[in-house]
Chain A
Amino acid sequence: MIEVQDLTKSFGDNIAVNHLSFTVNKGEILGFLGPNGAGKTTTMRILTGFMPATSGTARVAGFDVFTDSIEVRRRIGYLPENPPLYTDMTVADYLDFVARIKGVGPDKRRQRVDEAMEKTNISDKRNELIKRLSRGYKQRVGLSQALVHDPEVIILDEPTVGLDPKQIIEVRHLIKGLAGSHTIILSTHILPEVSMTCDRVVIINHGTIAAVDTPANLTMQLKGGQRVRIEVQGSEAALRDALSSLPGVRKVDVQAGAASGRIAVSVEAAPGEDIRSQVAAAVVGKGLPLYELTGVSLSLEDIFLQLTTEDAAHASAAA
C-alpha cells in the first residue's frame, strides 16, 4: 500500500531523513518509534504530500506522492502533531468543512461526519465550539478529521499525546478497530503503545532506520536487559569486587551513598539473563549486609540511550 524507497530530506545542511526505505502492507498498522527529532514527522509530511522529498520516492496506493500528489491526498487521512483545528467553528461544522475539502460528495457528507464523530466518541459535543473543548476532546476531533472521508491510508502523528489514560486506551482500541479496512502509520515515542497497537515497528533514529520488526520481537530484544537495584552496607570497592566478576553482569553503577553508610548500586545484566539470585548470593557471600534488592526493567529512555550509544560505538569502531 505504501512503498518508500531511499527517501531523503534535508533542510540545508541538516539531514532530517536519510535514505529511508520501508513498505506498509494493506490493512497493516505500522508504528514509527523514535526519539524527538528522529525524522518521524518529516517522513509523514512527505507521505501526505505536505512537503516534497529531496531525493528518493514514496508511493501511496500506487501513486507517487510528488507527481500525483492530489490523488495521494484524496486517499490519505492525516492527523499532524498539533491537531489542525479551526477553533471558532463547531465540531460538526468543522468536520463538514474537512469532508468538503477532502472531496466527500453532498449525498454522503452528513453520514460520514456522523460516523467519524461516533467512532471517536465526540457526538455529544457536535454543536460545541472547538475552542471550548478540553485538550483530550480536541485531540479526538483531530482524529475524527483524519477519518471523515473514510480514507484508505491513515497517518497519525503522535495520536495519544495529551490524552488521559482512559482516553488513550479508547484511542488505541479505535486505531486497532480501523486496521484491516485501513492501512495505518502512527508515530509515537511510547513503547507500550507500539506493542499494543502495531503489527510492525520501524525504529528511527537520526533519520535512518535502526530496526524493523514485530513489537513482540523488539520488546524481547530490547527489554532483555534487566537491571537490579540493591542497597548494601559496605565499601564501594568491596561491592565492585563482588559483583563485576559475576557471569551475565554487564555494568555496575554506584549511584549514591544512602543513609547510614549504605550505598545504592544498580547492576545491569546482559539480555535474557536473570541475575537477581546470583547478585544476592554474591553480596551475602562477601559478608555484606543486603538491605534491598529490586528488579527494574529497562525503560524506553534507556533503550533509546542504548540504541544511540551503540550506534555511536559502531561508528567509532568502524572508523
Chain B
Amino acid sequence: MRSLYAVYRKEMGHYFVSPIAYIIIGLFLILSGYFFMAFLSEIIRSAMQQGLEEMQYGGGAQAMDVPGLVIRYYFGLLGTLFLFLLPMLTMGVYSEERKRGTMELLMTSPITDLEIVLGKFLASVSLIAIMLVPTAAYQIFMLFKTEPSPPWRVLLAAYLGLMLLGSAVLAIGSFLSSVTENQLIASVLTFSAILMLWVIDIGGQNGSTFVGNLLGYLSIIRHYDDFTRGVVDTSALIYYGSLIFLGLFLTVRSLDSMRWRRA
C-alpha cells in the first residue's frame, strides 16, 4: 500500500513538472469554457425566439428546459474532448519508463506489478478530476442564475459519467502504452481503440437485431449519453467498470510478459 502511494505520488509529481499536463488541462479548459458560453447563448436565444413565435402565432406554451439542454450539450462536448485529449495523457505512462530503463528499477523493487499499475492509474484519474474542478464554476453559475435552476442530481450523474468515461479511456490508454517503447505509437493505438469503440454502434443503429443491440451496447459514448440526461443505469456502470477492469488487467499481464520476453 505504501509502495502504491509512492508510485502515485511520483506520477502526480511527474504530471506537474512535464508540460504535457498543463497543455492538456489548458486546452481542455479553453475549449470547454468557449463551448459552454456558445451553448448557453445559443440555447437561450432559441428559447427566446420560441417564446416570441408563440406570442405571435399563439399556441400551447411549451417551456424549454434551458439548463437541462445546456447540461446535455455541454457534457456531451466534455465527453468528446476526453476521447481526444486523454490518449495524450496516458501515452507516456509506461512507454517512457520502458525507454528510459526505469521500468527495470520498478520491476526489481519489492513492489507488485498490480501496485505499479494501480498507482499510475489512480494518479491519472486524479489528474482528470483536477481538470474537471474548474468546470464546476459554470454549474454553480447556472445553479444561481437560471430559472428553473438545473437539477443537481443530473449534474452529479453527468460528472459521474464523465469520470467513468475518462477512467475507461485511461485504463485502455495505459495498457496500450505498456506494449510499446514509443509514445507516438502508444497514442495512435489508443486513439484507434477509442475511435473503434466510439463508432462501433453505427452499423447497428437502425436495426434491432441481436448484433445491432450488442454493437450499441459496446459503444463507449452511448452509455455516457444516459448520464448527461441524469440517468444512472446499472448496465452503464457495468460497461465502464468492465472496460476499466479489462484495461488494468491487461496492463498487469503486459508488465508480467515484459519479464519473460525482454532480451
B109 contacts the other chain (CB 8 A):
yes
Contact of B111 among A14, A76, A88, A101 (CB under 8 A): A101
Q: Does A70 contact B (CB under 8 A)?
A: yes
Given A50-B259, A88-B18, CB of A100 within 8 Å of CB of B100: no
* Distance between Cα atoms of A101 and B105 in the complex (Å): 10
The answer to whether A85 touches B102 (Cβ under 8 A) is: yes
Given contacts A73-B108, A103-B110, contact A86 B7 (CB under 8 A): no
Contact assessment for A103 and B2 in the assembled complex, using a CB-CB cutoff below 8 Å: yes
Cβ of A52 < 8 Å from any Cβ of B?
yes
Q: A100 contacts which chain B residues (CB < 8 A)?
A: 2-3, 5-6, 9
Asked whether, in the complex, the Cβ of B105 is within 8 Å of the Cβ of A84, the reply is yes
Q: Report how far A74 CA is from B112 CA in the complex, Å.
A: 12
Complex CA distance for A82 and B104, rounded to whole angstroms: 10
- Cβ contact within 8 Å between B3 and A85: no
A88 to B14, CA, bound (A): 7
Q: How far is the CB of A5 from chain B (nearest CB, A)?
A: 20
Inter-chain contacts of B106 with A (CB < 8 A)? 101
Which residues does chain B contribute within 8 Å of A87, judged by CB atoms? 100
Q: A184 on the interface (CB 8 Å rule)? A: no
* Minimum C-beta distance from B165 to chain A (A): 29
**CA separation between A49 and B5, bound complex, in Å?**
22
Which residues of A (40-90) have their CB < 8 Å from a CB of B?
A: 45, 48-52, 70-71, 73-74, 76, 78, 80, 82-89
CB <8 Å contact, B101 and A82: yes
Interface check A98, CB cutoff 8 A: yes
C-alpha spacing A71/B111, complex, angstroms: 10
B111 touches A84 (CB 8 A): no
**Interface on B for A, CB 8 Å cutoff?**
2-3, 5-7, 9-10, 13-14, 17-18, 100-112, 259-260, 262-263
Some 11 contacts from A to B, beta carbons below 8 A apart, are: A49-B108, A50-B104, A50-B108, A51-B259, A70-B110, A76-B108, A85-B100, A100-B6, A101-B3, A101-B6, A103-B110
In this complex, what residue of A is CB-closest to B3?
Answer: A101
**CB <8 Å contact, A101 and B102:** no
Contacts A48-B108, A50-B108, A73-B108 given; does A93 touch B13 at CB 8 Å: yes
Q: B107: nearest residue on chain A (CB-CB)?
A: A50
Q: A48-B108, A89-B17 are in contact. List 20 more A-B contacts (CB 8 A).
A: A49-B108, A50-B104, A52-B260, A70-B111, A70-B112, A78-B105, A80-B105, A84-B103, A84-B105, A85-B100, A85-B102, A86-B10, A86-B102, A87-B100, A89-B14, A97-B10, A100-B6, A101-B6, A101-B7, A101-B110
Query: A89 and B260 in contact (CB under 8 A), knowing A73-B110, A80-B104, A100-B6?
Result: no
Return chain A residues, CB-CB under 8 Å to B101: 80, 82-84
Q: Which of A1-32 contact B (CB under 8 A)?
A: 11, 14, 16
Contacting A84 at CB < 8 Å: which of B14, B102, B262, B263?
B102
Given contacts A86-B10, A86-B14, A88-B14, contact A101 B100 (CB under 8 A): no
Chain A residues lying within 8 Å of B112, measured Cβ to Cβ, are 70
Min CB gap B6→A, angstroms:
3
Q: Which A residues lie within 8 Å of B102 (CB)?
A: 84-86
Which chain A residues border B5 with CB–CB below 8 Å? 100
Pairwise interchain contact B108-A11, C-beta atoms closer than 8 A: no
CA gap between A102 and B10 in the complex, in Å: 14
A244 to B14, CA, bound (A): 68
